[in-house]
A and B are shown apart, each in its own frame.
Chain A
């Protein structure tokens, strides 16, 4: 390099060894150590006891040979195990699909009214009807909706299941709601984010050509967000299937129920029949929803 031409002068001040980022990382690491100490977490807790080791070995050993028939004698007339597994899969899918449909029904409109893009253009411009009322009421509504959505999704579906089971009893509707409510909250949150990040130029042109704010939103902004919303909904279906399977542990007739029953009776090979079928189902759904996601994406 041409080091002779200019004297570059002294270096700019060098940052100290304890910048903000390092300090934060150190603080987080210390907090983790402190929490582990407080909870009495030790490495020896990871080593299973003798009998636990046996169960673990037996259980994992069974994974390679899932049952094709019942491991114990069953009453005359019981359906063959593969059919029972398929039926459990079917029920799992039905609960997931119902829960997700209801979640979409709730989450889609909630997502729209939770987006800042919606309210930004409904803030009560001068000359509009009821503009003073709107100016006061709209921010209140917006905060209320956002809070409601946060409540919906801050409670996990398993907790919803416990609550609804207590309130409504063991019926299909309570299971569907247990999936639908937290999923609706997540949909509303993610949909509103997608709407707020969607390009605004199409809505802008509509406004420029004399369309109302509602038209600009519905025909300019919403179509730009729909592909991402659809892709997210496909992805959430996989999550709903897993949640639906887990809800079986509370007694709903999905995969979880049969897994728990078989596990409690130490019929590990049957457990693996259900587990493997769930794994295959999730893989198949992933392939399908991946293909659908690629189709809806905007080139």
Chain B
């Protein structure tokens, strides 16, 4: 179990890209240990909303609070310390393809290391570090890949390496951007179950962005619907009507 799960709060957070609004004043609260998914059509602002939470995207106006601290007010050092407690699995995984699985997973903990220590860990991982990584990979079902180069793995395996890297960080929250986009339907269910299972086990706050609404409705407790950067609904999954879902994904001009 991690020390304590993180809470997130957005207060009228707005993102403007080149004069165009990417995300309109979004407000929501995510409690420690909660599992939430941003859902909606592509271009709805799901990824931007997710990246607000670890400060990889800064809000043009409004506030982002993590664990009660306002991100914009943190000094670089404090921001880094906070980010070390947030695991991030981006859509493209962000792995280094020409390095081994072990090295990629190790990278999750570089945040807390000094220069020489990170050199040593990357080039010559210690036995206990490797054992820890191995047991993480075992949980994810790819333990035999420990010393393989990442570019020799399948897409699904690479995604598990990215999840392992985020978990090796020993985070208090996990952010996963479109974790199902590269998977076939059966794998997608498995992965979503794995992620929410891991969050349960470790008591993590889990925030996802998902395109696939069907699985999200089936497996996740709370959904935030986004469309054109605007929040359409934010409620427990059971209370969301089919009508609301249909409206979320409806094509703009259905006049063909």
Residues of A within 8 A of B (CB): 125, 127-128, 201-202, 204-212, 214-215, 218-220, 223-224, 226-227, 296, 298-299
| A296 CB contacts on chain B under 8 angstroms | 98
Please indicate the chain A residues that have their CB under 8 angstroms from the CB of B88 in the complex. 205, 208-209
Q: Knowing A219-B118, A298-B151 touch, does A125 contact B76 (C-beta < 8 A)?
A: yes
Contacts of B99 in A (CB 8 A): 223
**How far, in Å, is B225 (CB) from chain A's closest CB?**
25
Counting chain B CB atoms within 10 Å of each CB, the highest count among A208, A219, A299 belongs to A208
Q: Given A207-B56, A209-B110, A226-B98, A127 and B90 touching (CB < 8 A)? A: no
Jot down 20 A-B pairs with beta carbons below 8 A, ordered by A: A127-B75, A201-B92, A202-B94, A204-B94, A205-B165, A209-B83, A209-B107, A209-B108, A209-B110, A210-B81, A210-B82, A211-B80, A211-B110, A212-B80, A214-B115, A215-B111, A219-B118, A298-B97, A298-B98, A298-B151
Which residues of chain A have C-beta atoms less than 8 A from B133's C-beta? none
On whether the beta carbons of B94 and A205 are closer than 8 Å, the reply is yes
- For residue B81, which residues in chain A have a CB less than 8 angstroms away from its CB? 210
How many residues of chain B get a CB closer than 8 Å to chain A's CBs? 38
Chain A residues within an 8 Å CB radius of B166: 209
CB-CB nearest 8 A-B residue pairs: A210-B111, A210-B84, A205-B94, A210-B83, A201-B94, A208-B88, A210-B80, A127-B75
- Contact B90–A211 (Cβ < 8 Å): no
Residues of A within 8 A of B158 (CB): none
Contacts of B90 in A (CB 8 A): 201, 204-205, 208
**Residue among A204, A226, A227 with the most chain B CB within 10 A?**
A204
Docked CA distance A206–B111 (Å): 7
- B residues adjacent to A (C-beta < 8 A): 54, 56, 75-76, 79-88, 90, 92-99, 107-108, 110-113, 115, 118, 122, 151-152, 162, 165-166, 169
Residues of chain A within 8 A of B165, CB atoms compared: 205, 209
- Complex: A226 Cα to B99 Cα, angstroms: 11
The reply to whether A211 and B111 form a contact with Cβ atoms under 8 Å apart is yes
Is there contact, CB below 8 Å, between B111 and A209? yes
Instruction: Please give the distance in Å from B189's CB to the nearest CB on chain A.
Output: 25
Bound CA span A296–B76, Å: 36
A218-B84 Cα distance, complex, nearest whole Å = 18
Q: Which residues of A contact B85 (CB under 8 A)?
A: 210
Q: How far is the CA of A83 from the CA of B84 in the complex (A)?
A: 63
* C-alpha spacing A209/B166, complex, angstroms: 8
Complex CA–CA separation, A224 to B151 (angstroms): 12
Given contacts A205-B88, A208-B83, A210-B84, contact A223 B75 (CB under 8 A): no
In the bound complex, residues from chain A placing their C-beta under 8 Å from that of B152 are 299
Chain A residue numbers with a CB within 8 Å of B122 are 219
Asked if A208 contacts B86 (CB within 8 A), the reply is yes
Q: How far is the CB of B103 from chain A (nearest CB, A)?
A: 9
Chain B residue nearest to A213 in the complex (CB): B76
Q: A17 to nearest B CB, angstroms?
A: 38
Contacts of A214 in B (CB 8 A): 115
Q: A127-B76, A208-B90, A220-B94 provided; 14 other pairs, C-beta below 8 A?
A: A201-B93, A204-B90, A206-B111, A207-B83, A209-B110, A209-B166, A210-B79, A210-B81, A211-B80, A211-B111, A215-B111, A219-B118, A223-B96, A299-B151
A208 to B56, Cβ gap below 8 A? yes
Q: Contacts of A219 on B, CB cut-off 8 Å?
A: 96, 107, 110, 118, 122
Cβ contacts under 8 Å, B97 to chain A:
224, 298-299
- Which listed residue, A201, A209, A299, touches B87 by the CB 8 Å rule? A209
Nearest opposing residue in chain B for A205, CB measure: B94
Q: How far is the CA of A268 from the CA of B113 in the complex (A)?
A: 65
Report the bound CA distance from A63 to B209 in whole Å. 70
CB distance from B179 to the nearest CB of A (A): 14
